[in-house]
Structure 1
């Protein structure tokens, strides 16, 4: 390989379901650069040697997905303060000297997608309800705090996990019991599902929208299926609802800037290609 050959990938286990290679491959065509973005299916016990092998193989960096996001934090040479606060790494940059820099672009992708898909959305419009207590919830809560959301009502089946998120992030997070999830929507301006509920082969999210304000914006970070149950239910009652595919697309440019010093474009053509690969084209 020549020095100008661009090489990156997505590291997870399993990982062959990921749409990242399709997206990044599209951008390599768009930018007119020679390179490849690869599936890197790495078992957990092989994560450290896999990461250390990136530099001699000529990788500019990798995206990190389940189940490696937390373990990768312990293996990189330098950790972005935001990633440390969120408690997960989603992107690793391989520096010229071989050292590894870990960061998190999930929160950026969420905000950019929300702004693009719901231009009327404002963080300071009112409280937000976040469903979940994992890494996704941490990234979303951090994102909402950057937009001056006055209160974040965090609801998770395990209250202890939600309390951990609130303790780690600080800010205006109020933890509620799982039984309060329906009434927690009252007066909320934003609702976000960060759990796997609603994903293909997973149960639907058990959440009644009866108390939801008609002007509230609903978001789901799940993108398989393209339209999850909560997104469908919100749209049916007239609320603006945003699916998770855009979050995946909007976190990509930040990674490219770190890896290749380039900023690819998120175009309708890219969205169409990704929607088509998922077996649908709902237009959002």
Structure 2
């Protein structure tokens, strides 16, 4: 039986997920497929139902689940039969698994992707009771904050260009050790932090530049950016020149995919240098 999965969103042509999962399917010689489905928000549930019923699928195929892009990550929550704790707290589902009885199981693996990407470069034990500064209060920040709390950070400074948005997120995550600071004050606490995370689109190809002076950042601090186009943002370039450990956004993309792949296809995949190079080639980068 061919096991099928995919990624749904609108638009979806930019997604690297088919290339990523396709690499693993070939590597592990699986009878499986993964494809992109262009699905508008109002079409989401009918599309999932049709795939569960094997419409437009070969007779010997079975739909096992899908990844979701924004805004589908949020709107599906009310339709999920079994919502895992992380997805419930973060408020977004990026991975849907079809259970044996046809039930929808919702997970959020973005936070795992961030944590595992971080762990590739540094020992996470160094962050116990540490402090982090998170730039941005959008959808990506939610998973990052959850990951930081799970990693043992004792203080998370949160800043956003729109102060009210940061305050609203902090209120929603009131069980976490968050302190909101004004965007214009974002550089004032650099001497106290051990990790700087950019979750905004600033610095991404085609977007505005991220203005983030690093002069006050302690030398041992780690700097990471969830942007992966370009792979080395101006933030990471500046941090690298100062001697900081830097972590780009591609690792988060690769690592977040592991749990879904294993749940759908029964094989735990490995993130390695060959996979990274293959996805970078698809992005037009080296």
Q: Same fold (TM over 0.5)?
A: yes
Deviation at 1:108, TM superposition (A): 0.3
Could you tell me which residue of structure 2 aligns to residue 23 of structure 1? 20
Equivalent-residue separation in structure 1 for 2:138 and 2:51 (angstroms):
28
Deviation at 1:96, TM superposition (A): 2.3
List runs of 5+ in structure 1 lacking aligned partners.
Answer: none
- Indicate whether 1:47 and 2:52 are aligned: no
Contact 2:32 2:265 in 1 (8 A): no
List runs of 5+ in structure 2 lacking aligned partners.
Answer: 55-61
Deviation at 1:168, TM superposition (A): 2.4
Match of 2:280 among 275, 279, 283: 275
Equivalent-residue separation in structure 1 for 2:210 and 2:161 (angstroms):
12
Could you tell me which residue of structure 1 aligns to residue 92 of structure 2? 88
Contact 2:124 2:151 in 1 (8 A): no
- Indicate whether 1:109 and 2:113 are aligned: yes
Deviation at 1:119, TM superposition (A): 4.2
Could you tell me which residue of structure 1 aligns to residue 258 of structure 2? 253
**In 2 relative to 1, CA 233–121 (structure 1 residues): closer, same or farther, beyond 3 Å?**
farther
Could you tell me which residue of structure 2 aligns to residue 65 of structure 1? 69
Equivalent-residue separation in structure 2 for 1:126 and 1:81 (angstroms):
24
**In 2 relative to 1, CA 163–101 (structure 1 residues): closer, same or farther, beyond 3 Å?**
same
- Indicate whether 1:126 and 2:130 are aligned: yes
- Indicate whether 1:56 and 2:61 are aligned: no
Query: What is the RMSD of the two structures over their aligned residues, measured on CA atoms?
Result: 1.5
- Out of 252-261 and 184-193, give the one that drifted further: 252-261
Could you tell me which residue of structure 2 aligns to residue 136 of structure 1? 140
Contact 1:11 1:65 in 2 (8 A): yes
Match of 2:166 among 162, 166, 169: 162
Equivalent-residue separation in structure 2 for 1:24 and 1:132 (angstroms):
29
Deviation at 1:261, TM superposition (A): 2.4
Could you tell me which residue of structure 2 aligns to residue 191 of structure 1? 196
Deviation at 1:31, TM superposition (A): 1.3
C-alpha distance after superposition, 1:154-186 (max 9, x if no partner):
001122222222222222111111111121322
Aligned length: 278
- Indicate whether 1:6 and 2:3 are aligned: yes
Match of 2:214 among 196, 205, 209: 209
Deviation at 1:79, TM superposition (A): 1.2
Deviation at 1:59, TM superposition (A): 1.5
